[in-house]
Amino acid sequence: MGSFALISNDERINAEVRRVHEGIVDSFEVTVLRSKTSAIQFLNYELPEIHLIHWSDPSGLGKAVVQEIKQDPWLHYGATLIVFSNENETDVARQVQGLNLVSLIEASRLGHYLRRVLGTLYSNRSLLTQWNFHQLVQTNLSGSFHLERDAFDFITHANLLANYLYNSNLVNSSDRDSLTLALMNALRQGVEIDTNADQGFVLTYNVTPRESQIDLTAGASTLDWSKLVPARLPEGSVSERLTRDAARFKVDHLRNAAALVPGFFHDQKESVFEDQEVVFSQGEEGNHLFYILSGEYEVLANGHRVAILTPKDVFVGEMSFLLKNKRTATVRAVGAGKLIRISKQEFVQSLKEKPHYGFFLSRMLAERLERLHQGKT
């Protein structure tokens, strides 16, 4: 069962969320969090797939939690729902920018819209398992959404898909925003041009390791997508092609690069490695570990390649670093790459300030061991 964090002190909001949630089959487990401390602790250690934050909570809880997340969003990758009341929606959207926002919901319409967004999230769980802890996308991920002719539906689905690509380290924040802009631009124009009020739109996506392709088609055949005005996209990896039958968006993925860096490591010096350059050698003392910013790194044990590490693996050299052992393998770059070199003193200091980093590292190591037991590298 998945995890759903409900961050609110307002009993009316909480009761409405429970009422809606209980009517959904195969739903996630809801945990109500009423303080900043308990909320941040839960987000850091439980890593919930969904968090609903009452932004307008009279106690100030929602705003405090949002500010805390924005300071270091590295692990807070779940779908974020923001509930607000008596505030301008545009102002709220601006203040929560940087979160993995899926939907902004006005409190008076919570019951109606929450059911719809939770139905979307629960039926598309593959898009909530973002990060997958250093597991590279090995096969295509594909699917489709049927969108009602409603701005809320458009925003929810565009955000869900764009955030998935971002949190999977496949696009950077700029391309995430560009994709959302392009989708919303096409959908809004489609509503204006297509006069068939009974039909919605179909969004189809196909995600491969190298690129994503998203197609928008209409439920009615009357819409000529080539009549749309393309979005003015900034220079980047998102492109748009309009034909008579569909609006097609192509997104080139990052090539072995991290979209996010843990907040504590932002100011650490980057080390650049050229092709075949050795990061460390088998038998050396393991006094540092390395955070992978970009590139690929082969792991050689007794001269034989046993693994290839990428930014999906997060760290290089953590086993000997933590166990105070000598390096059990040689690691060298395959092509150019960048690493952040972290000393024991720096790592210990990071754990003092952000102990959940240690929990994440422990979980990551456990998953690696499980993969080894299953005969995977």
What's the rounded mean pLDDT across residues 25-46?
Answer: 90
pTM over the 0.85 mark: no
- The per-residue pLDDT for 137 is 40
Q: What is the pLDDT of residue 134?
A: 36
Q: Which residues contact 216 (CB under 8 A, 6 or more apart)?
A: 183, 186, 187, 190, 201, 202, 203, 225, 246, 247, 248, 249
pLDDT at 317: 87
10 Å Cβ neighbour count for 261?
16
pLDDT 10s digits, 230-283 = 999 998 899 999 999 999 999 999 877 766 677 767 677 889 999 999 999 999
- The Cα 315–Cα 369 span in angstroms is 15
| Residue entry with tokens 């900043």 | 36
- pLDDT band at residue 19 using 50, 70 and 90 as cut-offs: very high
State the pLDDT at residue 138: 44
Task: Flag whether pLDDT at 377 surpasses 60.
Answer: no
Looking at residue 131, its pLDDT comes to 45
Name the β-bridge partners of 105: 83
Q: Per this entry, what is the length of the chain?
A: 377
Report d(CA 201, CA 340) in Å as an integer: 45
How is residue 108 written in tokens?
Answer: 């008076």
Provide the pLDDT for residue 197.
53
Is the torsion defined by CA of 4, 7, 9, 12 positive or negative? negative
* pLDDT of amino acid 38: 96
pLDDT-derived band at 156, boundaries 50, 70, 90: very high
Domain annotation for the chain: domains and CATH numbers: 1-105 (3.40.50.2300), 124-254 (3.30.565.10), 263-373 (2.60.120.10)
364 has pLDDT over 60: yes
Give the pLDDT band (50/70/90) at residue 135: very low
Q: Which two tokens stand for residue 60?
A: 């100030």
At 221 the pLDDT is: 63
Residue 314, token pair as written in the block:
């997060």
| 371 band by pLDDT with thresholds 50, 70 and 90 | low
| Partners of residue 308 on adjacent β-strands | 298
Contact 243/226 with Cβ under 8 angstroms?
yes
Express each pLDDT in 53-91 by its tens digit.
Answer: 999 999 999 999 999 998 877 767 789 999 999 999 999
Mean pLDDT in the chain?
86
Mean pLDDT of 34-40: 96
What average pLDDT does this structure show over 42-63?
93
Which of 16-25, 219-228, 254-263, 328-337 is least confident? Answer: 254-263
- How far is it, in rounded angstroms, from Cα 216 to Cα 32? 37
> What is 62-112 written as a DSSP string?
HHHHHHHHHH--SS--SEEEEEE-SS-HHHHHHHTBTB-EEEEEEGGGHHH
Tell me the mean pLDDT in the region 23-28: 78
Window from 143-157, 311-325, 363-377 with minimum mean pLDDT: 363-377
Percent of the chain with pLDDT over 90: 50
Q: Name the residue with tokens 């309009």.
A: 242
Lookup: tokens for 172:
């950077």
The pLDDT-based confidence of 195 (bands split at 50, 70, 90) is low
Q: In the predicted model, is pLDDT for residue 136 greater than 60?
A: no
Average pLDDT over residues 170-193: 92
Are the beta carbons of 6 and 52 closer than 8 angstroms?
yes
Query: Cα(299)–Cα(367) distance, rounded to whole angstroms?
Result: 18
pLDDT for 127 equals: 80
End-to-end alpha carbon distance in the chain: 28
3-state secondary structure of 157: helix
The helix/strand/coil state of 223 is: coil
Q: Averaged over 156-178, what is the pLDDT?
A: 90
Other Cβ atoms less than 10 A from the Cβ of 12: the count is 12
Write the CB contacts of 320 (distance below 8 Å, at least 6 apart in sequence). 286, 326, 327, 328
List beta partners, residue 337: 273
Query: What's the mean pLDDT in 94-119?
Result: 93
Q: In the chain, what is the greatest distance between 2 CA atoms, to the nearest angstrom?
A: 71
Q: What is the mean pLDDT of residues 313-318?
A: 83
In this prediction, residue 201 carries a pLDDT of 92
Identify each DSSP E strand in the chain by its residue range. Answer: 3-7, 29-33, 50-54, 79-84, 101-106, 141-147, 201-207, 211-218, 238-242, 247-252, 270-273, 278-280, 288-301, 304-309, 315-316, 330-343
Of residues 264 and 130, the one with the higher pLDDT is: 264
